[in-house]
Amino acid sequence: MYTVRQAAPQDLAGVRAVARRFGNLAQWPRRPDYLDRELANGRLLAGFAGAEPVGFGATFLRGGLTHLADLFVLPEHQSAGLGRALLARLLPADAPRVTFASSDPRAVALYIRQGMRPVCPLLYLRGPLAALPDRGIDAVPVAAGEVAALDTDAAGGRRDADLAWYAALPGVSVHRTGDGYAVVRSLGDRVLLGPAGGQTTRACADAVLAALVRHRSVGTAALSVLGPNPLLPLLLEAGFTIADMDVFLSSGGDPIALDRYLPHPDLG
Ligand SMILES: CC(C)(COP(=O)(O)OP(=O)(O)OC[C@H]1O[C@@H](n2cnc3c(N)ncnc32)[C@H](O)[C@@H]1OP(=O)(O)O)[C@@H](O)C(=O)NCCC(=O)NCCS
């Protein structure tokens, strides 16, 4: 009843329509967006009912680590096997893999049955920049290449091309604070922070705070923080609120530094 294949450029409008139904493009005001990147990387699969895409899934690679970035099926086609079929084609057998799962029990169950285990919550925070502490550290703007090694260490694998692609988008700036880094995108009324990290928990927190303080005039920020990160209470004390929550799942071996890495919500 459903067919699954690598998405082609002519499928992207249909895939985009599915993504929009789930609000996935809210952080991507203009093209190119992360779906363009998934297509260009050749890791975007579409599921069809007849000629129309009714679901899709995609991954980003960080060295040998696969980040499952998307798995979506239109509500009228859910629970009929398409999600499982997409996942089976997307994930390499026995290779390290991670993802952020929604609270949909079908998603969590599929990922666990594909060899991943729930590790901790991932909280999507939003809040005002005004009350954040200024630790007097400068977040120096740098080229993406200058933070690639720090990102590799914190995020669990190298992704120079994806990082450079994101850094070249309008409004995106990359910042370094010695042993920490933070990528920030200005979206008009808010900034989106991520990926960000550091060689130590402290270096990660310093980089995140310094990059946010630098964008204070924008007013509001959004960022994704894993449960063990000590930035969580600090941000909540400063007036940030939890806008949404996912579960971080991993196939094991702690590929991501949970206490010193803040992912990008879509790029991982
Ligand atoms: C999650 C999603 C992609 C799954 O796709 P789908 O086509 O609906 O799922 P499938 O029918 O292929 O598989 C669902 C599986 O979950 C199982 N399942 C359903 N409810 C379950 C529950 N409460 N507990 C455990 N397993 C459950 C089903 O039995 C099925 O497995 P089976 O085919 O072996 O019987 C789809 O439902 C979706 O788009 N949900 C909304 C968006 C979303 O949250 N996406 C996930 C982002 S991380």
Q: Which atom of ligand 1 is nearest to the CA of 87?
A: 12
- Give yes or no on whether 3-95 and 124-244+254-262 have one common fold: yes
Q: Which residues lie with the beta carbon below 6 Å from any ligand 1 atom?
A: 22, 71-73, 78-84, 101-102, 104-107, 109-110
Q: Residue 2, SS3?
A: coil
Identity of the residue numbered 114: Q
Q: Which fold has domain 3-95?
A: Aminopeptidase (3.40.630)
Q: Which atom of ligand 1 is nearest to the CA of 106?
A: 16
Distance 23 CA to ligand 1 centre (A): 19
Is the bond into 32 cis (omega within 30 degrees of 0)? yes
Q: Which atom of ligand 1 is nearest to the CA of 79?
A: 11
User: φ and ψ at 112, to 5 degrees?
Assistant: -65, -40
Q: What is the pLDDT, as a whole number, of residue 71?
A: 98
Distance 84 CA to ligand 1 centre (A): 7
DSSP class per residue in 142-197: E-GGGGHHHHHHHHTS--HHHHHHHHTSTTEEEEE-SSEEEEEEE-SS-EEEEEEE
What is the domain partition of the chain in residue ranges? 3-95, 124-244+254-262
Would you say domain 124-244+254-262 falls under CATH 3.40.630.30? Answer: yes
92: which 2 tokens? Answer: 């390499």
Q: Which residues of the chain have pLDDT under 70?
A: none
Nearest CA to ligand 1 atom 21: 106
Per-residue pLDDT reduced to its tens digit, 134-178 = 999 999 999 999 999 999 999 999 999 999 999 999 999 999 999
